[in-house]
Structure 1
């Protein structure tokens, strides 16, 4: 959906005075949530939502030293350089087409897809979708290009690869692969502690060509979304990322060279499996089907107000179908509402 209200650009301009995190490491979800709200016809709710979210926004950290085209490797994965990285990408996007910048940096950033609890890649996916959906095609909207700079800068600053992983038995489908992911031994603590325990994943997702990679990535997003209906209770907030992270990659594919589609699938599978391993519950739980339409389901998520619920419902609507809608309703039930 194209935003004809101007609300998205207004919201992004408002948010770009803030950093991507608060309280040391918690992610600023507002840019992603407002993009989803506008996309699904809830532009009128955006500024009220932002007003309520405002106390979770912090100023960006001070700059340290400029990131350069020749010296970027020393700054990769340094969260103290968030502002330096954002300014670097702002310069790059001012001097080069945004698709060219994305194509150059995507393979450099992809190994760190799970960094920041996958939020940087999710923010990047929302930013790319916005640019692709613009009336100009190759959008030159200042706020939208700035949003891509913020997203890529956050990803670069938080970049951290997963530990080395051994292959387990091959799985025949994305759903079977997620079911076969072994949970980490210590199911407590933050995500960094959990991801450090990863040792092995089932083999799944090899793609002989770009079109197969896209089809399997679509399958993965659907499988992770469906799985939330029965397993989201394990950790209702964190498990949404098993679906929203690979969907962010899927959203970026149309803007990327086809040669990057297969490695994108591999990284997306690693991210989805990592979140699943970190938070999956011991047993599945029952869920109820819903008779609500997609529009009604998203309206319910918007009225609920939780940022993760809004973003997961956005992904569920991308997947479509009764089980995805039931999973979205389940996220509304499991996560604490913002508006009461």
Structure 2
């Protein structure tokens, strides 16, 4: 989806350059979506004036800080020691700026991904989001910021499944099978934060038993995509929204990394963790999904306009990703959930 108005490109690049200097998170440990949703809004038709106004609103209302002061330089043999240490965000950004400057964005992403992929739960998967949008924009500065953010907020499950042989190729079946485990019912976690919930799930033995079971085949993302869409269409939940948008982000990142199915497998394990947060509902069957696909819809411009007018970053994110995934798959259900998200249909 190109910009509706080509004149927005230059002011958008300047604006993202400015807001991108701020931290990847704001108090308390919430993901800063601003660099990404400004790009989404522009592609949905936002004017430069709307983008400027939204950037001011978001930065002020969320008190988005600048990253913490640098502590010490990191090198190729030391940056891994800073994984998961939010106080090293600046050091990690500077390290990756150097890497990108030496070998380019694509190679920097490719070489770092074997380390970063298991920790894709970083900031509730928003490190992946920032990287995806940075690659979409072909923005070296944002690629370095995204890699630094992902590394600083790195969150992975322990290697409890390292010797387990994958036994299913069906992401949805693995998800639904969790409903049969009593200990996964009514799970509680320490806070409302998604990444803290994801982290807490990793301590539950019955959940650990689900790790490492999904086969990382080359078509894994293609099998994840309809499962994520069905889950979101059936729940319209905040958690399932991230499964849909995450499949879009994975598609943007996949062309520049080796073994993208490994990153997709780790991402789906995050979806499994969040499934418990929404009570593990039974996804709608194909007949129900098909009935929703046939619903009358407003035109794309009306859906996009409603998203651009919203101050909720998840409206911009979902509608843009839904439009892009519709272009990729032709599945009209993406437009249905986009229209529902912004309140244009029930």
TM-score (norm 1): 0.81
Q: Which runs of no fewer than 5 residues in structure 1 stay unpaired?
A: 132-143, 208-212, 335-340
Which structure 2 residues correspond to residues 56-205 of structure 1 after superposition, within 5 A?
56=62, 57-131=64-138, 144-164=139-159, 173-182=170-179, 183=184, 185-188=186-189, 189-190=191-192, 191=194, 192-197=196-201, 198-201=207-210, 203-205=213-215
Asked if 1:21 is matched to 2:25, the reply is yes
2: distance between equivalents of 1:80 and 1:43? 36
Give, in whole Å, the separation in 2 of the partners of 1:147 and 1:48: 21
* Root-mean-square deviation over aligned CA pairs: 2.8
Is 2:225 aligned against 1:221?
A: yes
What is the rounded CA distance, in whole Å, between the counterparts of 2:166 and 2:104 in structure 1? 42
- Please give the per-residue CA displacement for 1:13-46, whole angstroms capped at 9, x wherever unaligned: 1202311111141111101111111223324432
Gap runs ≥5 in structure 2 = 202-206
C-alpha distance in structure 1 between counterparts of 2:215 and 2:303, whole Å: 31
> Residues 324 and 176 of structure 1: is their aligned pair in 2 closer, same or farther, counting only changes over 3 Å?
farther
Local SS of the residue matching 1:201 = coil
Q: Which moved more, 1:56-65 or 1:182-191?
A: 182-191
Paired residues in the alignment total: 311
Change (3 A) 1:34 1:181: farther
CA distance in 2, matches of 1:31, 1:323: 27
Structure 2 residue aligned with 1:48: 53
Q: Within 1, Cα distance between the matches of 2:334 and 2:227? A: 9
Secondary structure of 1:300's aligned partner: helix
Structure 2-normalised TM-score?
0.80
User: 1:169 offset after TM fit, Å?
Assistant: 9.5
1:258-286 per-position Cα deviation (integer Å, ceiling 9, x unaligned): xx223223223223323323334546689
- The verdict on how the C-alpha distance between 1:92 and 1:24 changes in structure 2, with shifts beyond 3 A counting, is same
Pairwise CA distance, 1:256: 2.4
Change (3 A) 1:281 1:11: farther
Within 1, Cα distance between the matches of 2:40 and 2:341?
16
Structure 2 match to 1:253? 254
- Kept in 1, the 8 Å contact 2:197–2:273? The answer is no
